[in-house]
Each structure stands twice: as structure tokens, then as C-alpha cells.
Structure 1
Amino acid sequence: MVNGFIVHRNAGHPWDRRPGWDIMEVKAPTEAALSNFIAKAAQKLWQVWIRDNVGQASAVLYKPAHATSTWSDLPQTA
């Protein structure tokens, strides 16, 4: 992928492919541009799953498919 982003609707949760989750792949020209993109995506309820830390300026973000408010994906404890 050249610089830009691709959204995969209802791709499944990144950990276990449960239905109902969207995934977004992002590639930016610089780390600063990637940080800016991630900040703007967070305003639209996306969270980072993986961010490349070897100089590729890329990331994978995810969110519930129909999210309308902030959400948490922390495991529930008994």
C-alpha cells in the first residue's frame, strides 16, 4: 500500500476474528504524519492495535463496527 488508509468493514476482532469489528490499515510518509492521522482517527473512536516501530510509519487500528461512543476492549475479570 502506498501512503493512505484502507478500512475493512466487519473484518472481525484483531485478536480472535469475532464479528462486529472494523479494521483500518494506515501507511504515512512520516512518523509525525502517522501520529497526526492516529489522533484524528481516535476522535472517530478508532484505537491502535499495532503500530510499526521500525521506521515504516504504519499502523493497524480497530473499533466496534457500529461504535457511537468511547469503548474499552480490556478483558473482563471475574
Structure 2
Amino acid sequence: MTNSPEPEPSELENNHGATDPNKCWDMGRKYRWRLKRIEQTSNSILKVNCVFYGEQTSFEDSRFGDTDDE
């Protein structure tokens, strides 16, 4: 089994869906992300995929903590 090399930092992409291209620019300004490109999707709600430079991030809501029941 071979291990894949880690991607170079310049190759990392951070993807987030949005309702229109202007939202990509808004998201970039808000989170200080540099926009790489905007891709059209086939989704009727999130019509574009905003691709930013950098490591993938998440907007998960962590307010509720771990939901595993023991």
C-alpha cells in the first residue's frame, strides 16, 4: 500500500455552496478567504459552488456538543 503525498498548500481548496455568485464574494470578504473560482451546479437552491484557496472548512454548529448517547 502506498501513501499519497500531502497536497501542496497552494493546491488545497475550500468549497462552499451558495445561492448566487455574489454570495461567494460576500463569503470571501466575511471570512477573509481568497476566491479561486465559481462553478455552476445543477442544484436548484445552491446554484453555485464557491471555491476558495486553502484548507476545507466547515460551518457545522458545535453549540450542541457531542450527540452520542451512552
Tell me which protein shows more helix as a share of its residues. Answer: 2
TM-score class, shorter: 0.3 to 0.5
Larger Rg: 2
TM-score (norm 1): 0.37
TM-score (norm 2): 0.39
Q: Which has the higher contact order (CA 8 A, sep 6+)?
A: 2
